[in-house]
Amino acid sequence: MLVSQDPSPRSCTPRFAQSVVKTAFGFAVVVLGAPFWGQPTAPRVLPDHPAIAAEGYILMDADTSKILAEENSREPLPPASLAKIMTGYVVASELEAGRIDAADDVPVSVNAWQTPGSRMFVREGTTVVLEDLVRGVVIQSGNDASVALAEFVAGGEDAFADMMNQHAALLGMSGSNFANATGLPHGDQYTTAFDMAILTRELIGRFPDHYALYSERSFQYNGIEQPNRNRLLWRDRTVDGVKTGYTKDAGYCLVASAERDGMRLISAVMGTQSDAVRVRESQKLLSYGFRYFETHRLYDTEAPLKTSEVRYGSVDEVSMGVPETIYVTIPRGRYDDIEASLDIPGVLEAPINEGDEVGELRVTLDGETLAASPLIAREAVTELESLARFFEGIYFFFSDLVN
């Protein structure tokens, strides 16, 4: 929901709370957005999330990163082919940077051709268009395609694993370490359900065109058509990804994502007993999230939230807004109970640069902070020349005494 310059019940459902702040002149000023309205409903008790038969799992909202269900989500576990999500992420990053191109011809080495496990069936000594190899990784889960890409991008799989770990560190995936591009068993390779959700969230947001490949149900190469192993794509039309994985040590794993009515959820289940179980448990998590929670876009970067008086400036007021779009995830049916408070000085002084922090927005529900953001100036205000500033200072001095 977008907020108008003068938030009110017609333009902003969350109720604005009063907040008292000190101005530069020492006076307490009540900052008021919109009046309180509506009657808060009694807090609702959410049902417990369903029991999930997995060694570790998580359910996360993609827009807010709010965790809706989890157990052992930070426990390091073998990733199996979930590692290929990071493989695809690295390749997408290199494509974005222009260091490789989707039309590049990628040579297939003996090493890539001989890689065991699931295969795209590339042939030693041939070249494959990079875009096809990416589909071979994402849709067919080809280990041979993963190694060919790793060798092309980084010169070798070890060097590519270093790139995977560098990206993991940048994303805050502190529970992960990658040793190869395939996810094949390795003593020093592990990840967590939480880290897989974080990676998937970033993948969806940063590389939407690449992520779209995860919804493709099959891919044919070299005369061999293979289906996407994510059977949720057939069972739930709102699911559009992400990736399955299996080894004896890892068990059956699945990272899934679905979007319904503008709300996107990400689930990760690791260490289940069968393909049927990983599909069932993922569906249970997604169904729970969509049934009992809702996500709202409250404030957009393009919309001013408030204006404040400016002294000693070329204009008398400045508008303020948020630097990033604000989303909140709440129990379903509690939207009218959200409260938002703006903490801003009663008076600002020029000069003010566009983007300067001039206050704070806080969104709460039942006293719990759902979101907090700085308020920034949406335009610059230059300072008056010395003489004009002097006379304006005199005016404000006497005006403050009267008030």
Q: By C-alpha distance, which of 141, 43, 58, 137 is closest to 91? A: 137
- Do 247 and 327 lie in a common domain? no
CA distances from 255 to 16, 26, 266, 354 (A): 38, 55, 7, 41
Q: pLDDT-derived band of residue 312, with 50, 70 and 90 as boundaries?
A: low
| Residue 381 domain flag | yes
Say how far apart CA 85 and CA 134 lie, in whole Å: 11
41-53 per-position pLDDT tens digit: 434 678 899 999 9
Q: Which residues contact 282 (CB under 8 A, 6 or more apart)?
A: 232, 254, 256, 267, 269
Which pTM does this prediction carry? 0.85
| Residue 46 domain flag | no
Instruction: Out of 26-35, 64-73, 154-163, pick the least confident.
Output: 26-35
- Do 30 and 76 lie in a common domain? no
Q: Would you call 81 a catalytic residue per the annotation?
A: yes
**Residue 367: both structure tokens together:** 């006293």
Q: Would you call 141 a catalytic residue per the annotation?
A: yes
- Do 247 and 189 lie in a common domain? yes
- Relative to beta strand 347-349, strand 306-311 is parallel
Q: pLDDT-derived band of residue 69, with 50, 70 and 90 as boundaries?
A: very high
- Do 103 and 202 lie in a common domain? yes
- Do 209 and 75 lie in a common domain? yes
- Relative to beta strand 306-311, strand 293-299 is unpaired
On the CB side of 313, CA atoms within 13 Å amount to 19
From the list 66, 73, 84, 284, the catalytic residue is: 84
- Do 311 and 388 lie in a common domain? yes
CATH number assigned to the domain comprising residue 142: 3.40.710.10
Which residue's entry shows tokens 């149900």? 217
| Residue 226 domain flag | yes
Q: pLDDT-derived band of residue 350, with 50, 70 and 90 as boundaries?
A: confident
Coarse DSSP helix, strand, coil percentages of the chain, rounded to the nearest 5 percent:
30, 30, 40
- Do 93 and 208 lie in a common domain? yes
Average pLDDT, the chain: 86
Say how far apart CA 377 and CA 24 lie, in whole Å: 18
Q: Would you call 84 a catalytic residue per the annotation?
A: yes
| Residue 280 domain flag | no
- Do 75 and 37 lie in a common domain? no
- Do 204 and 311 lie in a common domain? no
Amino acid 282 reads S
- Do 149 and 235 lie in a common domain? yes
Say how far apart CA 230 and CA 275 lie, in whole Å: 9
264 secondary structure, DSSP code: E
Please answer whether residues 34 and 15 qualify as being in contact, where contact means their C-beta atoms are separated by less than 8 angstroms: yes
CATH number assigned to the domain comprising residue 32: 2.60.410.10
| Residue 287 domain flag | no
- Relative to beta strand 251-260, strand 239-247 is antiparallel
| More confident call, 367 vs 386 | 367
- Do 207 and 351 lie in a common domain? no
Residue after which a domain boundary falls, among 217, 251, 285: 251
Instruction: Out of 61-70, 110-119, 292-301, 391-400, pick the least confident.
Output: 391-400
239 secondary structure, DSSP code: E
| Residue 55 domain flag | no
Query: How many other β-carbons are positioned within 10 Å of the β-carbon of residue 304?
Result: 18
Domain assignment of residue 320, given as a range:
15-41+298-402
Question: Per DSSP, what are the bridge partners of residue 340?
Answer: 16, 363
Calculate Rg over the CA atoms of the chain. Answer: 26
> Structural domain tally of the chain?
2
| Residue 4 domain flag | no
225-256 per-position pLDDT tens digit: 999 999 999 999 999 999 999 999 999 999 99
Rounded average pLDDT over 96-115? 98
Query: Using omega within 30 degrees of 0 as the cis cutoff, is the peptide bond preceding 29 cis?
Result: no
172-192 per-position pLDDT tens digit: 999 999 999 999 999 999 999
From the list 73, 81, 93, 282, the catalytic residue is: 81
Predicted confidence at residue 386, as pLDDT, reads 58
| Residue 115 domain flag | yes
Rounded average pLDDT over 201-223? 97
Say how far apart CA 84 and CA 87 lie, in whole Å: 5
Q: pLDDT-derived band of residue 347, with 50, 70 and 90 as boundaries?
A: confident
Please answer whether residues 340 and 33 qualify as being in contact, where contact means their C-beta atoms are separated by less than 8 angstroms: yes
From the list 93, 109, 118, 141, the catalytic residue is: 141
2-42 per-position pLDDT tens digit: 333 333 322 343 444 434 343 333 333 333 333 333 334 43
Predicted confidence at residue 308, as pLDDT, reads 80
- Do 20 and 99 lie in a common domain? no
Say how far apart CA 60 and CA 68 lie, in whole Å: 6
